[in-house]
Each structure stands twice: as C-alpha cells, then as structure tokens.
Amino acid sequence: MVEGDPLPSFAPIVVDSDPAPGDTIPATAMITIKFSKTMASASIENAVTLSPAATISQFHWADDLKSVTLVFDPPLQAATEYVLTLSADITDVNNTPLDGNGDGVGGDDFTLQFYTLPSDLNGPVVVQSDPDIDNQTDNFPIDGVMTIVFNEALDPATVNNNTIQLFDDNGLMVTNYKLTSVREKAIVSVQTSSPLENDASYTLVFSSEISDTAGNTLESDISINFRTSDVYYQESIDIEKFMSLTNWEQPSYSGSTVGIVVPNTTFEMTGEAYLPSASSRQRNSARLRYEWAANASDYLIREYASGSGVKNVKFDTSYVLQCFVFGDGSKNKFRFSLREESGQGYPLEVSEWVTINWYGWKIIEWDLSDPNSVGTWLGNEILDGSQYYIDSFQLTHEDKESELIGKVFFDNLRIVKKASGSSAVKTEKPQLPNTLVLGQNYPNPFNPTTTISFSIPKKGLVQLMVFDVLGRHVATLINKNVESGNYQIPFNGSNLTSGIYIYRLRFNNKTYSRQMLLMK
C-alpha cells in the first residue's frame, strides 16, 4: 500500500437474521437483521422491500447501530411466502455499500425468504413449566426462577403484576417478571426479590386475561401449587455476577474448542435475558451464541475463564457449584470444568453433561462432594485436589435431535453450602409495590367461597364491591381507610346463583375490576 492511502473499509454483511432463512413465523412477528458493522441508519429506511408488499411502520435500531428490528403495521399476511430484500444502497457509517451475497465486494442486495403461519384462532398453551403444572413440585429452590413456557408469542400488554400473581399462606406476594422469546415460544420468568421460605407452600396464578399477539386469551386461569425445598443456604459466595466479560475469552480462544462456525459463535453481554429479581443496573447476563458446523467430526465449546476475578475464588469439595443457566430447549449439552490450584498430574475435571431440554432460567449445580458427579475429560475423574477454581463452561452437540444454532445465557455463578431445617436467619419481607395491585380471586372458579387479594402502596380509602354482569350491586366487602399493605378479603357466594361476577376496587380516584366465576 502506498503511504498516505486510506485504510480499506470492508463492506458490511448480514451476520444474522430472525427469522432465519426458510423459517416460519407468526404473521404478527417482527424481523431483526444484524450487521457486521455500524450502519448508517438513514440509508435503510427506503431500501427495504417485501414481496408481497408490506408496510414497515417502525425501524428500531440497537444502540450500536449494528442491528435493526422491522415492525409491520398492519401485520403480515397469514400463510404467505415472503421475500425481504435489503438493497445494495444500504451503507455503513463509512458509506461502504452492503455486501448482500457475502463475496467480499459491496454493491449487491441481500434477500431473506421466510413464511408466515396460518391465522391464529387459539389461545396460548403451556408447553413446559417449572414448577411442574401437572405434578406438584416439592423441592423448588428457594431462590429459583418460576418459568412458564407458552407455545406462541404473548401480547406484552397482558403480562403484568395483575395477571401474574404468587400466593403464600399469608396472601398475595410481590414478584418480578420478565417476558422473553426463544424459538417462537414465549417464556415468562417470575421471581421474588428475596428468597422464598424453605419447606413452604406457594401457589402461582396466571390469569386468563393473558393473550397472544392476535388477542386470543388463555382458556382459563392457570394455578400451579408447589413446595420449596427443605434446604437453605448456610453460605453463598459469588464467583461471577456477569456485570462485564473481562474475565472471559471468546469461544474460539481455546484450542479445545472444535466443530463451530467461528463468526457465529460468540460470548457477549446482553439485556435480552436477565434474572427477574435483578436490580435495574444488573439487568443483563452473559449470552453464548453458537453455531455448530454441520459436518464436523467432534463438537466442543470451551468458554474459558481467563481473568483473575474468577480464578481468585478458590474452593474445596465441601461446596456446591451453581449457576443460573437460561436454556434454549436445543438438546445440546452443558457442563462445568474446574482446575486444581496445585495440580497433581490431573489438573482439569468436569461435571457430568446436562442435556439442555428446558427453556428459561434454571439453577444447574455440581455437588463437589459427590464422587459420582464427576464426568470424563482430561482428568482422572476424581476430585482429589485440595482447592479448585473455575476453568470454563462447556457445551457439546451429539446427535441429530439437537439444534445446530442457538443461544444460552448465564448469570450468578457461585458456590454454596446447604443445610436442612429451619433457616437461622429469616428472609426479609419483600417491599410493597409502588402501585396498586388487584389480584385474581382464588380459587376461581369457586363454590361458594373465594378470597380476593390486593396490595396498596399507601394509606387511603379503599372500596371493594361485587356486581353481577348486569351491573347490579351484590355486596360491599370493604369501604374504609386502610394502611398500606397486602390484604385478603373473603367472599361468600352461597346466596347467589351460578355465573360471572365482577369485583371492583376503588382507590386514589382510580377503579380496577376483575371477573370471577361462581359454579354451584
């Protein structure tokens, strides 16, 4: 290159799309395109076309201007084949045109073929839950994330603190929730700010007011009864909170990593998924995007922890190693790897593989005191060292049933010691919400008694009344000034006929209503 020549600017390419080529999506879905470079956002707005034609109402750009989400209004047509075209007129911030076909030379279009599903006339259906919706769970972790997975996208406006509620023996509890989408499924994650009591009963209720993006509601309320484990944490030490990735390398850094498509396999911070109980500054996690090479003979991702912030946390086999892992239902496999501090010829040991057959957050753990929990890799399959520290997270791909492309998330890597029985220290009671919450009555349907729960953030006049579907007053349950707090008000419908009734709460000049069903 002659001195003084400008540095070359490689043409931007499309590195990812949602949907992927050939995918089938709901007609109400949005489309996200991810570029290799920072783009000139203004260049795209008149350079995107669809066949058949569709109206793009909004372009939502990520902060780094490397990805854009297209919003359609009206929605796309149902049961239709589409071709989206990004014109070569699209440029990056250096005015270099798009390389649509990926040949290294800018100036050609990018096309994406996809399909839309037939019209949706059915409400969302639960396809997976933790705690189990069918069989009562009796050992739910005290700080676990309650996860309900639906078969389709939900309308975010219908997912809120009035439609998702958790009850203990004292009534309505304050919870936090997060709605995420993976593989065309909606994942609702629910968690309390403080750990639940150990060896205690709870009921998680999802209201039938929750709907999909087409307006179809749940067939009925969902109630999941469960009990927490009888263990609590005597000790808990954080290894990595994933506020940054300074302690971690990219997957391709390790020579042990094989069988991946390197540009599409990355470790990065994201706000796409986070623990619902996280504070506002901690609403992120580590995301491992992966793509396995289709014809590779071996598969392994060694996501290596190189930083002293992780390596300096040493522990022995009296601890249980834990991490919150957000699964993508891919049926790929995950395990931990540890390194002996002193090294005695077998410095690396691994846990047994865990199949990622779940969606959403789940605590994955390795009981280091269990000799049968050690997997096979480079060590002697015996935890015979005096101290250990984290070497890596590892993933593998083993059979045709597991997905080639996906993403998993990690948060709160830690070591704990457990104990059974009553906790020596009671957990703090969660803070009251800063807005009024009117709960769905429970049970519902009911005969003849039910309980109506509500929370108010400050002292004030509360009126709680019941009406029939014609608007006729049936009962006044409360009409007085009450202190801030959580309340449970019983209602007896023994003198009423079967049918739908409306209970209405008035507080601070605002009115809130819900329906309940009396079935005799």
At 61-73, the pLDDT tens digits run 988 899 999 999 9
Domain boundary among 370, 385, 420: 420
What is the residue range of 264's domain? 236-420
Mean pLDDT of 102-108: 92
Spatial separation of the C-alpha atoms in residues 186 and 170, rounded to whole Å: 30
Q: What's the N-to-C CA distance of the chain in angstroms? A: 87
91 and 33 in one domain? Answer: yes
CB-based contact 118:28 (threshold 8 Å): no
Mean pLDDT of 485-510: 86
447 and 401 in one domain? Answer: no
240 and 155 in one domain? Answer: no
Burial grade of 166 (CB within 10 A; 0-12, 13-18, 19 or more): buried
CATH number at residue 37: 2.60.40.3710
CB-based contact 222:206 (threshold 8 Å): yes
Number of domains in the chain: 4
CA triple 378-324-250, angle to 5 deg: 55
Spatial separation of the C-alpha atoms in residues 49 and 378, rounded to whole Å: 53
Which of 268, 325, 290 is CA-nearest to residue 397? 290
CATH number at residue 498: 2.60.40.1930
Write the pLDDT tens digit of every residue in 377-408. Answer: 887 878 888 889 999 999 999 878 899 999 99
142 and 88 in one domain? Answer: no
Which of 346, 313, 325, 343 is CA-nearest to residue 394? 325
Q: What confidence tier does 346 reach under pLDDT thresholds 50, 70, 90? A: low
Sign of the CA dihedral running 377, 383, 385, 389: positive
Return the SS3 of 326.
strand
409 and 378 in one domain? Answer: yes
Spatial separation of the C-alpha atoms in residues 509 and 493, rounded to whole Å: 28
CATH number at residue 251: 2.60.120.260
Spatial separation of the C-alpha atoms in residues 294 and 302, rounded to whole Å: 18
More confident residue, 19 or 432: 19
Q: What confidence tier does 298 reach under pLDDT thresholds 50, 70, 90? A: very high
The full DSSP string for 385-412 is: SS-EEEEEEEEE--STTS-SEEEEEEEE
What residue type is 284 in one-letter code? N
Domain boundary among 169, 201, 230: 230
173 and 48 in one domain? Answer: no
Task: Let me know if residue 140 belongs to a domain.
Answer: yes
Interacting residues of 341 by C-beta distance below 8 A, sequence separation 6+: 314, 385, 386, 387, 388, 389
Mean pLDDT of 362-373: 94
**How many CB atoms lie under 10 A from the CB of residue 425?**
7
Q: Cα Rg for the chain, rounded, in angstroms?
A: 26
Does residue 411 register a pLDDT over 80? Answer: yes
Helices (H) and strands (E) in the chain, counts: 1, 35
350 and 246 in one domain? Answer: yes
Domain boundary among 94, 116, 138: 116
Task: Let me know if residue 426 belongs to a domain.
Answer: no
Spatial separation of the C-alpha atoms in residues 91 and 48, rounded to whole Å: 13
Task: Let me know if residue 76 belongs to a domain.
Answer: yes
Does residue 120 register a pLDDT over 60? Answer: yes
Residue with tokens 């590195």: 15
- Average pLDDT of the chain? 89
Task: Let me know if residue 174 belongs to a domain.
Answer: yes
Whether the model clears a pTM of 0.85, i.e. scores above it, the answer is no
Mean pLDDT of 314-333: 95
Write the pLDDT tens digit of every residue in 423-481. Answer: 433 333 445 556 788 888 888 888 888 888 888 888 888 889 898 888 888 888 888 78
Write the pLDDT tens digit of every residue in 160-173. Answer: 988 999 998 888 88
94 and 62 in one domain? Answer: yes
pLDDT score, position 18: 93
pLDDT score, position 344: 54
CATH number at residue 165: 2.60.40.1220
The most confident of 182-186, 251-255, 309-313, by mean pLDDT: 251-255
For residue 328, the Cα-to-chain-centroid distance in whole angstroms is 9
Task: Let me know if residue 121 belongs to a domain.
Answer: no
Residue with tokens 């709160």: 412
208 and 243 in one domain? Answer: no
Q: What confidence tier does 409 reach under pLDDT thresholds 50, 70, 90? A: very high
179 and 282 in one domain? Answer: no
223 and 134 in one domain? Answer: yes
CB-based contact 202:142 (threshold 8 Å): no
191 and 311 in one domain? Answer: no
Write the pLDDT tens digit of every residue in 173-212. Answer: 888 999 998 888 999 999 998 889 889 999 999 999 999 9
